[in-house]
Amino acid sequence: MHVSTPQSWRGGERQLFLLCSELLASDVEQHVLCPTGSVLSERLHPFSDQISIHQSKKKRGGVDLGYARALARICKQHDIQLVHAHDSHAHTAAVMAADLLRNKASIVVSRRVDFPVGSSSISRHKYNDRSVKAIICVSDAIKDIVKQSLPNCKALITTVHSGVDLNRFNDVAKRDLHTEFGIPEGRSIVTNTSALEGHKDYPTFIRTIDTMISRGVKVHGLIFGEGSLKDELQHLVNVLGIKDWITFAGFRADILPYLHSSDVMLFPSKMEGLGTAVLDAFGVGLLVVATRAGGIPEMVVDGESGCLVDVGDFKAAADVLERVLRKKDMRAQIVEGARSKLEDFSASNTAHGTEEVYRTIISKNT
């Protein structure tokens, strides 16, 4: 049983949806526990004849015994042997069900964030609990961080890269972004599709655009996404006097046509488990300039499948953007390298690697 606690739809929920979809081709019986009315439950509904979807009341905080009870009850009713916790609160609920309610299912934990495991006794117990049989990291960078945090768990830690559905990139249409967003002709469009949150480091994105404008480069920043920092970021744009050069376009459910119609992606995250938005750019042939953060360099090989700069270095980012926008042959060569790299990050590869983890655990339990 997959366990997910967010109501919203972000990268982790997208990865869970893809995993469920890909595992339909195997003989893995799947159940999903998620909050009532969550986006994930709605997205999975068309598969309800193949995947058992269990909905529980919205989780109340990080520790919710009611959610743990629901988890344990479903496991008992359906003789579930393995629980895959896809987020931190799901992990807590699974361990509570094992420790307090004697749920016998083994636990697999997904780790998607590139910062150390918390030092509190609760955090340490969650990972060292005897019911946890595997910790799946979405990048080697995260795996190394987790191994340093949890030296007693090294044998349980493995990498299965997040992936994307390669079929999504077939026949992606283009849009006239200059007309749609009132962008003057002649400006190259620099795009980002991340949520407007701190670790995505949009101030560096904005300062990169500002630097290029000050150099006389005709560019326009196009930001797709929503988040808690929207007002703060718009204020920064106004303070810098570049509100006519950056557009906050809001969230788009189908982002691929917008990526396909842009000139380059600037992805300046300070922290990033992997960053599958980069893979979306690869899939539509959009060159990526990104930071050396988390698992990003496992996708973006500098000069081969994209370009890398140091975190927060907006001047270097501006230098690289100017160069790739000016040199079309260089851009085309790197884009071709990105298409080849994308093959390593398919959703089918993710599902295959995850299923291997499942079967290894089950075989040890029998």
Q: pLDDT of 74-111, one tens digit each?
A: 999 999 999 999 999 999 999 999 999 999 999 999 99
Q: Is the pTM of this model over 0.85?
A: yes
For 314, other C-beta atoms within 10 Å of its C-beta total: 21
How far apart CA 122 and CA 88 sit, in angstroms, is 12
So what's the pLDDT on residue 58? 63
158 and 239 Cβ atoms separated by less than 8 Å: no
272 and 199 Cβ atoms separated by less than 8 Å: yes
Closest CA to 240 of 215, 213, 266, 217: 213
- Phi and psi for 14 in degrees, rounded to 5? -65, -45
Q: Pairing between strand 52-56 and 31-35? A: parallel
Strand order through the sheet with 288-291: 246-248, 219-223, 188-192, 264-267, 288-291, 307-309
**What confidence category does residue 9 fall into, taking pLDDT thresholds of 50, 70 and 90?**
confident
How far apart CA 150 and CA 143 sit, in angstroms, is 10
Q: What percent of the chain has pLDDT over 90?
A: 88
Closest CA to 199 of 140, 272, 139: 272
Which residue has tokens 């009850």? 73
Is the model's pLDDT at 117 over the cut of 70? yes
Is the model's pLDDT at 129 over the cut of 80? yes
How far apart CA 16 and CA 21 sit, in angstroms, is 9
Parse the chain into domains and list their residue ranges: 2-163+347-365, 167-344
Mean pLDDT in residue range 251-264: 95
Please indicate whether residue 317 or residue 12 has the higher confidence score (pLDDT).
317
So what's the pLDDT on residue 61? 62
Is the model's pLDDT at 167 over the cut of 80? yes
Is the model's pLDDT at 243 over the cut of 90? yes
Q: Name the CATH superfamily housing domain 167-344.
A: Glycogen Phosphorylase B; (3.40.50.2000)
| pLDDT per residue as tens digits for the range 342-364 | 999 999 999 999 999 999 999 98
Q: Name the CATH superfamily housing domain 2-163+347-365.
A: Glycogen Phosphorylase B; (3.40.50.2000)
| pLDDT per residue as tens digits for the range 280-308 | 999 999 999 999 999 999 999 999 999 99
**What confidence category does residue 62 fall into, taking pLDDT thresholds of 50, 70 and 90?**
low
Q: Look up residue 182 and give its amino acid.
A: G
- Phi and psi for 218 in degrees, rounded to 5? -85, 95
Paired tokens of 72:
């344990």
Is the model's pLDDT at 232 over the cut of 70? yes
Mean pLDDT of the chain: 94
Mean pLDDT in residue range 205-213: 98
Mean pLDDT in residue range 269-283: 94
Strands (E), 96-149: 106-111, 132-137
| pLDDT per residue as tens digits for the range 318-329 | 999 999 999 999
| pLDDT per residue as tens digits for the range 175-187 | 999 999 999 999 9
3-state secondary structure of 174: coil
Task: For residue 35, give the H/E element and its range.
Answer: strand 31-35
The residue length of the chain stands at 366
3-state secondary structure of 92: helix
Paired tokens of 239:
């303070």
Q: Which of 206-218 are b and which e, b meaning 16 or more Cβ less than 10 Å from the residue's Cβ?
A: bbbbbbbbeeebe
Is the model's pLDDT at 366 over the cut of 90? no
59 and 33 Cβ atoms separated by less than 8 Å: no
Q: Matching CATH topology for 2-163+347-365 and 167-344?
A: yes
